[in-house]
Amino acid sequence: MSIGNSKRFDTRKLVGIALLTAIVVVLQLLGSFIRFGTFSISLVLMPIVVGAALFGVWAGAWLGFVFAVVVLLQPDTAFFLGINPAGTVITVILKGVLCGACAGLVYKFLAEKINTVAGVIAAAAVAPIVNTGIFLIGCRLFFWDTIKEMAAGTKYADNVGLYLIVFFVGLNFVFELVVNLILCPAIVYLIRIGEKSIARKK
């Protein structure tokens, strides 16, 4: 690859990541108005998966980071910030960055070993699983006493973990996972278009 082609490719990659960054911000802001249970739904996972697949693990991590920053600025997060600001920031940043990075790693491995479709399906599933999993771990590490107090007045007083899943995760995770998997064909199509476009510029 010549230096000129390399620069054009790098510029195209930067433009692609910038576009996906804007989409992540817009979708997360719009998602705050769409509620499915207690908390708003993360509609940004699809562009994060697309970015991670097209541009690599670091792009996925960056898009996840942007997602996390927007989440920190939204009203839902104020509840957690009021209890443990440091724990909230750590949890939100980690779940965003890791969901993007893990999606990129899984896609890269399976796309090389099997095919693009397998990579996308796995990445689309991994993103919400990691996102929700880190959230649950953060709740256990930083907010457990508060959640126990909240559960005390309910039928889940003896099963705080179940209370956490029902009231803090609920159907949000299921919805995000199903939406990602349903949109897999569209994700595959977008990635193939992107890969062909990138290949032509090399």
Q: Average pLDDT, whole number, for the chain?
A: 83
The answer to whether residue 120 scores a pLDDT higher than 50 is yes
Domains in the chain (CATH in brackets) are 3-201 (1.10.1760.20)
Per the CB < 8 A criterion, the answer to whether 109 and 68 are in contact is no
167 DSSP 8-state letter: I
Question: CA dihedral defined by 178, 128, 176, 78, rounded to 10 degrees?
Answer: 170
**pLDDT bucket at 5, cuts 50 / 70 / 90:** very low
84: left (phi over 0), alpha (psi -120 to 50) or beta: beta
Q: What is the pLDDT of residue 3?
A: 42
The answer to whether residue 170 scores a pLDDT higher than 50 is yes
The answer to whether residue 2 scores a pLDDT higher than 50 is no
The answer to whether residue 1 scores a pLDDT higher than 50 is no
**pLDDT bucket at 164, cuts 50 / 70 / 90:** confident
CA distance 160 to 144: 9
Mean pLDDT on 150-176: 80
| 35 φ/ψ angles, rounded to the nearest 5 degrees | -115, 145
Element (H, E) at 201: helix 184-201
Per the CB < 8 A criterion, the answer to whether 69 and 21 are in contact is no
Q: State the pTM of this model.
A: 0.83
The answer to whether residue 159 scores a pLDDT higher than 70 is yes
Determine what percent of the chain is predicted with pLDDT higher than 70. 81
CA distance 149 to 145: 6
pLDDT tens for each residue of 47-101: 899 899 889 999 999 999 999 999 999 887 888 999 999 999 999 999 999 999 9
Q: Which of 76, 197, 196 is CA-nearest to residue 135?
A: 76
**pLDDT bucket at 195, cuts 50 / 70 / 90:** low
Specify burial of residue 135 (Cβ count, 10 A radius: 0-12, 13-18, 19+): buried
Per the CB < 8 A criterion, the answer to whether 105 and 49 are in contact is no
The answer to whether residue 192 scores a pLDDT higher than 80 is no
